[in-house]
Structure 1
Amino acid sequence: MQRSSDIQVIDDTGTLLTLLKPAKRIVSLTATGLDTLFELGLQPVGYLAKGIADQPEFYGVQAQQIASVGSWMFPQINRIKALQPDLILGWAFPHRFYKPWLNNIAPVYLMNKTGYEVTLQRLRDVGDLCDRTYAAEKAIAQFEQCLNIHRNSITTPHKTVLMMGGSSLNRWMGKFLVETDRGTLGSILQQLTDYPWYQPQNHRGEPGLMTLSLRDILAVNPDIIFVQTYSPAKVPLSQQLTNHALWQQLQAVQNHQVYEVDQFWHSGTGTRMLRLILDQLLPKIYPNLR
């Protein structure tokens, strides 16, 4: 029977979580979860061995206080258990496979969906679970204010933008990952640019991403291209494509409007990360905003 003091939210997989009291000790197995906690003014007791926690935009040297609980693909269950968390934040893939063991430790909130509204709801959910509802609404208001400032600052026609990524394997296959309008970043770029990369209705791949060939990209011929190179490639993807005939035909390439971006693109989809990404991208799209 539910008590009036119980805290209940539904995660991105449709699972109902019930906490008897607000979570104080949280383990995050995803950068998006860490981003969310940072926005709420909280610090996890456990996080990934490699991630964004020690970045100066997040916890910096204070991240040394956060225990390592393994990698995103291979979280270490015994280390998580030893931390005695009240709540575990993860991503549907791959953490749903670990859920039988994780559920024996603490309730698990799994993230899965993409999009602007989903990001805000996720912040509200974790805020409710941690008794930080006010902090969540404050962070949302700050993010929306940031977007409004950007919208009002753009006085020139919207540029056509592409956010793509891949590795040497993608170059060899001739298919590249493209952020779509249903991706979190893509849904925001649609508000600030001409972003015509629409995800098909019956898409079965990763939410918010689709694969396109250079011929597909040339059919749109964007003004500006942002590229993320996936490991283990040592040479930036844009450099790997330098001599490709179709790549050379793109006006963004001809006008020197191709920019390699760092790992922020796929390090998380929280409001903090999104603000950092926009701070990187918008001055390149609209130089008058500098």
Structure 2
Amino acid sequence: MALGIQPVAVSSYPKGFPSYLSSLKSVQSLGSRSRTSFEALYHANPTIVIGLERMIAPYYQRYAEITPTYGFDLITLEDSLRAVEVGAAALGKPVQGKQINQCFLQTLEDMHHKVTTHQKGKPLTGMFLTSAGVTPRAYYSDFMAVSLMEALGIEAANGASPYSAKTPFSGQVGLEWLIKLDPDVIFMYKTANPQFTDSKVWKNLRAVKNQRVYSVDMTWREAEGPYSRLWVAMDIANKTYPELFPEPTLERVEEALCLTH
């Protein structure tokens, strides 16, 4: 879509498409991405399939029998940049793909400069949490949404992954350790009433006391696409520095990505 190409069919998005992808609501559905309807895909007659590697790999041969297929491993910022460049080239628009990446990185740099110019004292620290259980899980700094947070000058309180591989990209954070990290801001994925938010430790966290705990949606879990990564970056900036940054809109995202179609 960022390349000005509307797909002929698309897998359903968990909990519905975000607002900036609302035009996909009218596109033919292939069903759940984990259970693609190959009959629907065949009849849609695409010239290329692009998707998540973990979803495509088990059924690659079936996809490839229909049309050339590309699967991308999307976890980190580097993964995102590569997917946009390679995907754009596969769609016959290599120059536009590189430009989208360049405009995205320049926008991040401009936002970071605005934050650091405004900021007084040491940088803020932050965490991205999930889990509906007793113990929260925190995403490591190589995870895309956390990388965007750090790109804006907010340090990941729980740091980098202790693993050499890209997965797992999150780990449990005991409440005793969480109070030691005590981040300035917390972004928390909307799940079913997490139990840990009822604890005294949670209520004594700096971010909680300062009302700097922000609920975020599914977009943050998969923020690697050309629209979603900038949308999430703008969302982080607006939630953390509302006096500096407006809420994200599709128009602002497209303008920042130098999209003229």
TM-score range, shorter chain: 0.7 to 0.9
Rounded Cα–Cα distance in structure 1 between residues aligned with 2:145 and 2:223: 10
Q: Specify which of 198, 220, 224 is matched with residue 243 of structure 1.
A: 198
Choose which of 227, 233, 236 in structure 1 pairs with 2:188.
227
**C-alpha distance in structure 2 between counterparts of 1:223 and 1:54, whole Å:** 30
Gap regions ≥5 residues in structure 1: 1-37
2:3 aligns to what? 40
1:87-122 C-alpha deviation (Å, 9 max, x unpaired): 212222232112121121122211114222221111
Distance in 2 between residues matched to 1:67 and 1:164, nearest whole Å? 34
TM (norm. structure 2) is 0.82
Match among 225, 235, 254 for residue 270 of structure 1 = 225
RMSD: 2.2
CA distance in 1, matches of 2:232, 2:2: 15
Secondary structure in structure 1 of the residue aligned to 2:128: strand
Which secondary structure does the structure 2 equivalent of 1:190 belong to? helix
- How far residue 53 of structure 1 moved from its aligned partner, in angstroms, is 8.0
> How far has the Cα of 1:256 moved from its partner?
1.4
Which residue in 2 is equivalent to 1:30? none
After superposition, the C-alpha distances for 1:210-261 in whole angstroms (9 at most, x for unaligned) are 332222322211011010023xx2x4x3xx4342122122111122111111
Aligned twin of 1:164: 129
- Distance in 2, Cα, partners of 1:178 & 1:134: 37
Q: Which amino acid counterpart does residue 230 of structure 2 have in structure 1? A: R
1:127 Cα offset (Å): 0.8
What is the total number of aligned residue pairs between the two structures? 239
CA 1:215–1:42: 2 relative to 1, 3 Å: farther
- Structure 1 CA distance, aligned partners of 2:25 and 2:165? 38
Retained in 2: the 8 A contact 1:40–1:127?
yes
Q: Unaligned 5+ residue runs, structure 2?
A: 246-261
- Of 49, 55, 58 in structure 1, the residue corresponding to residue 12 of structure 2 is 49
Q: What residue in structure 2 maps to residue 182 of structure 1?
A: 142
8 Å CA contact 2:186, 2:212 repeated in 1: yes
- The answer for the alignment partner of 1:111 in structure 2 is 72
Contact 1:90 1:111 in 2 (8 A): yes
Q: Which position in structure 2 is the counterpart of 1:14? A: none
Q: Which amino acid aligns with 1:277?
A: V
Give distance in 2, aligned partners of 1:288 and 1:263: 25
Residue 252 (structure 2) aligns with: none
Contact 2:48 2:67 in 1 (8 A): yes
Residue identity over aligned pairs, in percent, reads: 19
- Would the alpha carbon gap of residues 278 and 251 (structure 1) be closer, same or farther in structure 2, given more than 3 Å must change? same
Q: Decide whether the 8 Å contact of 1:52 with 1:267 is kept in 2.
A: no
Q: Which has the higher helix share?
A: 2
